[in-house]
Amino acid sequence: MSKNTRILTVDDSASMRALLNHALSSQGFDVSQAEDGEVALEWLALNEVDVVITDINMPRLDGFGLIEKLRQGNRHRDRPILVLTTESSEEKKARARQAGATGWIVKPFDPEKLVAAVRRVSH
Amino acid sequence: MNHFLLAEPPPGAHTGDFDEHYGVYLMELLINEMLAHGAAKSRLRAHLYGGANLNSGFARIGTKNAEFAKAFLASERITVVRADLGGTQARRVDFRPARGQVRCRTVENTLAPEPRPSTRPPVARGDVELF
């Protein structure tokens, strides 16, 4: 019996969280949600996850900071982390890549492409 | 200020459907820029004007726009200071961002721009790049 892929989405917009939850839950993923990087770190300290999808612009701890912190420890060093953002600059993309992101997805997202990307990085 | 026409449905959807993905995206662009300029989300206030169904022969795009805007602001916990929505008449809005002053008048529908499909963002929709 295969277990559902567990995803943590990190986004400060409640509307975006609702869209993500719908897009991913309807495809059988086990979705948890955090509203910024700090909440995500607290949640990840206590829970297991297969893929993290994070926004960049967030209060308290942004997406870059979250990725850097996760890559510093052993536990999430190889965890797939997808960035999902309205940012389109090459400089920000390069920064995410340098911080250790696994992939970069531009909003507004296409649910099919997002799900395909999650399946690809979680195998 | 965000002005959506939002008549363009997502690919494969029925004509007249509201593209919520796109509305949420536009609002995120606006809010991110405001936060980058020093705004705090808890201090944000909103005014809503429009949402009229100008052409009775079309799908009720105006009503859908207004419903989206109200639902979005409620879920983001952004207070609506003033709203003037609905009806069948075009509106003209003058906004002074520095003072937060707004004047809204109804005008002849012939003064409203023709609805046209909104253009997609310059980047491809939902582009995925794995590193």
**Of all residues in chain A, what percent carry a pLDDT higher than 90?**
83
What is the per-residue pLDDT for A123?
80
What is the per-residue pLDDT for B11?
54
pLDDT at A57 over 50: yes
User: Where does A17-123 show beta strands of DSSP type E?
Assistant: 30-34, 51-54, 81-85, 103-106
Find chain A residues with C-beta within 8 A of B29's C-beta: 86
d(CA B124, CA B25): 13
d(CA A87, CA A63): 12
pLDDT digits (tens, 9 = 90+) for B69-78: 999 999 999 9
Positive/negative CA dihedral, A46, A59, A14, A9: negative
In this complex, which of A18, A93, A109 lies closest to B126 when CB atoms are compared?
A: A109
B72: which residues sit within 8 A by CB, 6+ positions away? A15, B23, B24, B27
B97: which residues sit within 8 A by CB, 6+ positions away? B1
Residue A37 identity (one-letter amino acid): G
pLDDT at B110 over 50: yes
Residue of A35 and A3 predicted with greater confidence: A35
How large is the average pLDDT for residues B50-59? 80
What is the per-residue pLDDT for A1?
42
B129/A107 Cβ within 8 A: no
List chain A domain ranges. 6-122
How large is the average pLDDT for residues A98-117? 92
What is the per-residue pLDDT for A15?
92
What domains are there in chain B, each with its CATH number?
A: 20-111 (3.30.1330.200)
pLDDT digits (tens, 9 = 90+) for B10-30: 555 554 555 677 788 889 989
For B47-61, the DSSP string reads EEEE-----TTS--H
- Helices B20-36 and B61-75: angle between axes, nearest 10 degrees: 50
Closest-CA distance of chain A to residue B46, Å:
16
Positive/negative CA dihedral, B127, B28, B8, B113: negative
In CATH terms, the superfamily for domain A6-122 is Response regulator (3.40.50.2300)
Question: Under a CB-based contact definition with an 8 Å cutoff, are residues A71 and A100 in contact?
Answer: yes
Q: To probe the interface with B, which of A88, A95, A107 has the most B CB atoms within 10 Å? A: A107
pLDDT digits (tens, 9 = 90+) for A69-84: 999 988 898 999 999 9
Residue of B4 and B47 predicted with greater confidence: B47
